[in-house]
Structure 1
Amino acid sequence: MEKMIKIAVNGGIGFGAKLTARQLVTLAKYLGENGELELTTFQQLYIEIPEGKKDEVIKEFEEVGLSCYPVGNYVKSLRTCNFCKGEIEEGMPVAIELNKRIAGQPVPFTLKPAYTGCPVGCGEPLVNDIGVMKVNDHYNLYIGGKSKGADAKAGTLFRERLNPDELYESVENLLGIYGSLGKKREPFHKFLKRIGIDEVSRLVQEKTS
């Protein structure tokens, strides 16, 4: 029996978490009679595909506009709001670029980034590991949010009034530090508590200089 592997898919970064009929039909080809799609809380679907046909299947998915990501200890695709006020006003190009730079990057433990195009915060940036909030023409960066458990908490404002390039660099540097100093299977919020946000800030600044 052919070995199956699990991958994550979604419709990419756009106006809400949506799939087209063509995308659904393409996914259904690989479900079989009793197959299931697992819907995650992070705007992704998990689907099992034949390991030997991985590249072929991913190419087919991408041809219908699906984005594909690895499952496990990687940076998840960017959770977003619905961009209700429009592509440019709420910074969709920045969200797309940030996702392209970080999604699928290996990290010590699954990391969830989130983005919202205005202070209403529909993308829930304050309760995810890394959160980005667009405020007017700038971006505020939050880190260390936790959405689950009795110790759930909002993230800490880490950097504010960033332009897009400063945002990309700050997030990439954060992930680099977490990747090099984080312990195996150490969640990001625990890593921040162990290292200290002030020290992480110093290390990010050092990388930026």
Structure 2
Amino acid sequence: MMAKLAINGGIAFGSKLNAKQLSVIAKYMQEEDEIELTTFQQLYIEVPESELEVIKKEFNAVGLSCYPVGNFVKSLRTCNFCKGSEEEGMPVAIELNKLIAGRPVPFTLRPAYTGCPIGCGEPLINDIGVMKVRDKYDLYIGGKSKGADARAGTLILGKLTPEELYEAVTAIIDIYSQHGKKREPFAKFIDRYGFENVYNQIV
């Protein structure tokens, strides 16, 4: 039995892999195997299910992060932190990713983060978006990047401290986990459940 695993180089300056990481990935691929590059800064690789935990440990040892594939919170899509890790809040992005990535949800949920209002991490067109503005964080929900009904997310809370941001994002995911229908995309959930209902439950 084969298991699909999502991997990336973690949250750092851009979406990069080094030679050592590539060689470890290649170790678990046959000559005819292919690796899928997703739009969400992840690679999908199939590995033997019986060796999954050993392989994950080996990937982690060279700095690769591993995530489940399917109806889970995706790893945080980020900008390149071009103005520096502290100025653009890389430690906050790393901590947020630890808190939410891999959590089971009714349907794949895509969070995104950007360290300044230029928005290279595309937070406004993802399910949950975080934008750092000066030393605070703005939180958007309900963005949708695909389809004729594509739309920008709506600001639900602004000028948050890191702790307030963590609390709000985890609360929103809890609400979606508890009240979302099976395979209901997050944007559709917000429309059905109500933006105001979500807001009232997290403030």
TM-score where L is the length of structure 2: 0.99
Query: Equivalent residues in 2 for 1:179-194 (5 A)?
Result: 179-194=177-192
| Runs of 4 or more above 2 Å deviation | none
Tell me which residue corresponds to 1:42.
40
TM-score where L is the length of structure 1: 0.97
The residue matched to 1:150 in structure 2 has which SS?
Answer: coil
The residue matched to 1:53 in structure 2 has which SS?
Answer: helix
Identical pairs, percent:
68
CA distance in 2, matches of 1:118, 1:34: 42
Compute the RMSD of aligned alpha carbons: 0.4
CA distance in 1, matches of 2:159, 2:48: 45
CA distance in 2, matches of 1:199, 1:177: 10
CA distance in 2, matches of 1:25, 1:33: 13
Q: Which runs of 5+ in 2 are unaligned?
A: none
Tell me which residue corresponds to 2:159.
161
Report the alpha carbon displacement of residue 188 of structure 1 after superposing the two structures with TM.
0.4
Query: Equivalent residues in 2 for 1:35-74 (5 A)?
Result: 35-74=33-72
Report the alpha carbon displacement of residue 187 of structure 1 after superposing the two structures with TM.
0.5
Q: Which runs of 5+ in 1 are unaligned?
A: none
- Give CA-to-partner distance per residue, 1:15-54, whole Å, 9 cap, x none: 0000000000000011111011100000000000000000
Instruction: Give the letter aligned to residue 151 of structure 1.
Output: D
Question: 1:118 aligned to 2:129?
Answer: no
Deviating more after overlay: 28-37 vs 89-98: 28-37
CA distance in 2, matches of 1:204, 1:142: 13
Tell me which residue corresponds to 2:201.
203
Instruction: Give the letter aligned to residue 120 of structure 1.
Output: I
CA distance in 2, matches of 1:195, 1:152: 19
1:126–1:142 Cα contact (<8 Å) kept: yes
- Give CA-to-partner distance per residue, 1:80-135, whole Å, 9 cap, x none: 00000001000000000000000000000000000000000000000000000000
Report the alpha carbon displacement of residue 203 of structure 1 after superposing the two structures with TM.
1.6
Aligned residues: 203
The residue matched to 1:62 in structure 2 has which SS?
Answer: helix
Instruction: Give the letter aligned to residue 200 of structure 1.
Output: V
